[in-house]
Structure formats: structure tokens, C-alpha cells
Amino acid sequence: MVYLRTGNLLQDEENISNGIKELIGTSPAALQTFLQNQQLKIYDTVSTQKLNSFNKLYGDLGIFTDDANSVIMHQIRNKESTELNTKLLKEANKDSDNLVNTTELANRKYEMNEWSVNNKKDTLFIFSMLFIMISGLILVTGLYKLNVISTSFWMLLSVPMILIFVLTVIYRSQYTNVYRNKRYWNRKRFEGKSGTIPMPNCANVTQGLLDAANAASGLVPLSS
């Protein structure tokens, strides 16, 4: 801000005129000295004032340009920060996608393992059943060889055991190959062969709903 020190100049002017009035009647030398002193004083005041005004403005200019400098640095910082955050966000999105894929993959692997384990357990059931059947056959064959039981009784005991085992193997094999869901072990496939749950056919209600929908869309007037 520039301030014109007009008050001081007027004061100086008044002092000068008072000095001149006092000295005008005495001697020209004293008058000259007085005028020189006053001129020097005015000269110093004016030059200092001009310099001070400029110094103040120049200092302000320095402050404002420094301020602008800091604003630019702030903008650069903001720009870099935004770029960095955007990059991080993109990376996070990518990580998120990867994670979803990994989760889905792990889930599918879990399902496959579960199906495989259950299939092995089914085989284990057949194996254990075979073992039981063979053990039974060994027992009845041993009794038969020791002549404890007759041939017909041996046949009567052995054939059902073998038959039960064979039928069980066939049934389970068929069930797994044809009816069992290929993804979830404990689900059965129907494939539309078992029919659907019948829905009640309410003609009046259906018509009413259709009329209401048509009226709402303004296509057909509501039927009476």
C-alpha cells in the first residue's frame, strides 16, 4: 500500500515559510544556510519516502510470488498424489479381481476334491463290502469243507451274498454314472424326467392381472 505523506510536506512548507520570515530581515548568508538545510531535509525525506514505498511494494511482490510458488508446489503435490492414489486404486481393483478369481478357483477345487473324495469313499464302501462278502464266503466254504453244512446250504448262503454284492455294485455304478450330479456329490440329476410341480390355473386372477398391467401402460382400456 502506498501512503502519500502530504501532511509532512505541508508541515515542512510551513516551517520553511516561518524560517524565511524570521531570516529575511537579518542576513542573506543565514537565509541561504537555512534554505539549504531545509532543501536537504526535503530532499532526504522525499528520496527516503520514494525508496521506502518501493521497498514495501517490492517486498510484497516477493511475498506474493513466493505464495504463488507455494501454490504451484501444492498443485504439483496434489497432481502427483492424485496420480499415485489413482494408480493404487487401479492396483487394488486388479488385486480384488485376482482375489475373486483365486477365491472362485479355490472354491471349484474344493468342490472337485469333495466329489473325488466321496467317489473314493464309495469305492471304499464297495471294497469293504467285497471284503465282508469274501470273509463270509471263506466262512461258509470252510464250514462246507469241514462237512458242517451241505452243498445246497453252502449254495443257499453263498449265492445271495454274491448276488447282493453284484447288485449293489451295479446299482451304485449306475447311480453315479447316470443320476449323480457331476458337481455336487450329494445331489441327484433329474434332467426334466421327473416332471414339474403343478401350479393352480386361476383364469380370473390371471385375466385381472393382465388387465391391470395393460391399463397401467395405457395400451388397452380396463375391461368391464
Q: Which of residues 162-191 bind another protein (CB under 8 A)?
A: none
**CA–CA dist 35, 20 (Å, integer):** 8
Q: Which of 2, 197, 203, 216 binds another protein (CB under 8 A)?
A: 2
3-state secondary structure of 2: coil
**CA–CA dist 185, 117 (Å, integer):** 10
- Judged by CB under 8 A, which stretch of 139-147, 184-192, 201-209, 213-221 contacts another protein? 139-147
Name the residue nearer to another protein (CB basis): 11 or 48.
Answer: 48
For residue 19, the minimal CB distance to another protein (Å) is 12
84-103: which residues touch another protein (CB under 8 A)? 85-86, 88-89, 92-93, 95-96, 99-100, 102-103
Grid-cell match 520553511, residue found: 16
Q: Which of 21, 25, 146, 201 binds another protein (CB under 8 A)?
A: 146
Q: For another protein, what does the binding mask look like between residues 49 and 78, x meaning CB under 8 A?
A: -xx-xxx-xxxxxx-xx-xxx-xxxxxx-x
Q: Which residues, including other chains, have CB under 8 Å from residue 163's CB and lie 6 or more apart? A: none
Grid-cell match 466254504, residue found: 141
Name the residue nearer to another protein (CB basis): 92 or 164.
Answer: 92
Q: Residue 36: how many CA atoms within 13 Å on its side-chain side?
A: 6
3-state secondary structure of 177: helix
Q: Which of 11, 15, 39, 206 binds another protein (CB under 8 A)?
A: 39
**CA–CA dist 164, 174 (Å, integer):** 15
Q: Does 35 bind another protein (CB under 8 A)?
A: yes
For residue 177, the minimal CB distance to another protein (Å) is 19
Name the residue nearer to another protein (CB basis): 92 or 178.
Answer: 92
Alpha-helical (H) ranges within the chain are 6-23, 28-145, 151-174, 203-217
Q: Does 127 bind another protein (CB under 8 A)?
A: yes
